[in-house]
Amino acid sequence: MAIPNRQTLRRNLKHLRRAWIDVGQTARSRITGTVRPDLPVEDHDLIRRQIDSCLSDSGGAASARARAANLGGVYLSLNQEGRSSFLRLLARDYGVDQKTLQLAVEKWIQTTQRPDEVAKIDRADLEAEEALRKTLLSPRIRLLTRFNELPEGVKFLVDMRAELISLRGQDAELRAFDREVRDLLASWFDVGFLELRRITWDAPATLLERLASHEAVHAIRSWQDIKHRLAASDRRCYAFIHPQMPNDPLIFVWVALTQGLSDKIQDLLKIEDFEVDLGKADTAVFYSISATQPGLDGVGFGSFLIKRVVDRLSRDHKQLKVFSTLSPIPGFRSWLEQQHAALRSNSEVHPQILSLLRNINREDAERIFSDRSWVRDEVATTKLRQPLSALCAYYVVHEKQGSSAHDRVAHFHLSNGANVERLNWLGDVSKKGQAESACLMINYRYRQKEIESNHENYHTDGKISCSKAVNALVQS
C-alpha cells in the first residue's frame, strides 16, 4: 500500500479540520437556535421555525411585534450570501399554496353557477370571493407586512427589495416574489401618502448628506456647492418624503429660477454666479432629478414629482410662465456609434440618417465624444453643429423601443406630459456631457394646459409633441 506524502497528509488534515469545524458549528447552531451569517441549508429549519412563529397569530399584538423584530434582526445579521438564501427560501416555500388556491377557485366557480334566485338569497359568492382573496395573499407577503409596524420597518422592506431586485435575474420564483413586494410597496407609497417638501439649507445634516450622495446627474462637488443649490434666492430643491422615512427623500429635483430658458448647464451650476431677481424670473428650469431608493424601482410616484412642483411654483411665484428641464441625452452616443457601425458594414441605414452621417468623417466621429480639445475647437464644432443636432433630434423623436422613446430621460419626461422644446448645442461641456452626447442637451417643456393631452397621446399612440424648431431639425 502506498504511503501518502507529507503534503497530501497536510491537505487531508486541513480538509478534515474544516469538516469538523462545520459539524461543530452546525451542532452549536441547533443547540443555541442561532442562525449562522451565511444561512447554510442546515440552518433552514431554524429560520423556518422563526418565520412560522412570526406568521402565527398567537400571543397578541405585542408578541407579534416582538417576533417580527427578532426575525428582522436575524435578517440584518446575515451576510450577503445569507440574505440571498433567506430571500430564496421565502420565494420557494412561502408563496401561495397551489392546492388551496385551486379549491378556492373551484368553490368560487360553483357559487357563480347557481340559479339566480338562490344566489340572490345567501350570496355565497361574496364569501367565496373573500376566501379567494385571502388565499391569494401569500404567507411571505403577510410576513413582510408585520415589519411595517416596527420602527423604520418600511425602510427595512425597501432595502430588502433592493437586494431582491439584484438577486432575481430570470428566476421565475424570485421574479414572482419581487412583483408581490413591488405591489405591496406601491400601496404604501401611493403619491397621496407622500409629502412634497422644499429642502432648504437648514435641513438636518443627514438629509443633506443623502442629497449629495444620491445626486445622479450633476455631482455635488462641495458643501459650498450644495449650499448654493439650497440657499441661493433663485434656487429650489423639492423632494417626496414618506412619513415613516422623514430623513430619506425618495426622489428629489433641483430647480433654478431664471430669466429666459437656460441652454447651458455650466451657467446654472456656477457657485459664484449672480442671483436672479425673483421679481424678474419668468422661467423655472428643472436641471436634475434623482431617485434615492433602488428598492422602489417600478413604484411609479416619480412621474408626479415635477407636476406637483410645477403646481407649487405656479402658486408661490405667479410671474413664472415657463416650466422646463435642461436634460442630458444619455443614449445618444451608443445609438450614433451603432449607426456608424452599420454604415461601415454596409448594413441598412435610414436614408435621412445616412445623408447626415456622410457629413461626419471617421476622425470627427472619434473626437466628438472623447477629445477635450474638440470642445474648444470653434471651427470643428461649427462644422458639425447642424448634422449632429439633426441626428440627435432624430434620435430623440423617432428612435423607439416599442412605442416609447429609446432614450430613458426622454421617455421619463414625455410620459409625464412634456414636449420636446429645444436642442442645445454645447449645452454640457463637461467630460461626462461630452462622453454621453457630444455636449448636447435638451429642454423638455411642461405646459400646464397640454400636460394631460401630451401624456395620453404618448401612452396611447407613442406620439411625441415637439416645437417647430425641433421639427425643423428632425426634417433637415
Q: What is the DSSP string of 272-321?
A: SSPPPPTTT--EEEEEEEEE--GGGTT-TTHHHHHHHHHHHHHHH-TT--
Name the catalytic one among 327, 389, 437, 465. 327
Give me the residues paired with residue 283 across strands: 258, 322
Alpha carbons 397 and 413: distance in angstroms, whole number = 13
Name the catalytic one among 218, 242, 413, 455. 413
> Known catalytic residue: 413?
yes
> Known catalytic residue: 430?
no
Question: Residue 240: helix, strand or coil by DSSP?
Answer: strand
What CA–CA distances, in Å, run from 182 to 157, 218, 412? 10, 29, 19
Apex CA 161: angle with CA 155 and CA 165, to 5°? 150
C-alpha cell read off for 83? 440574505
**Grid cell 426634417 — which residue?**
475
- Closest listed residue to residue 260, CA positions, set 326, 313, 306: 326
Question: Residue 361: helix, strand or coil by DSSP?
Answer: coil
Alpha carbons 113 and 167: distance in angstroms, whole number = 44
Give the residue numbers annotated as catalytic, written as ranges.
327, 413
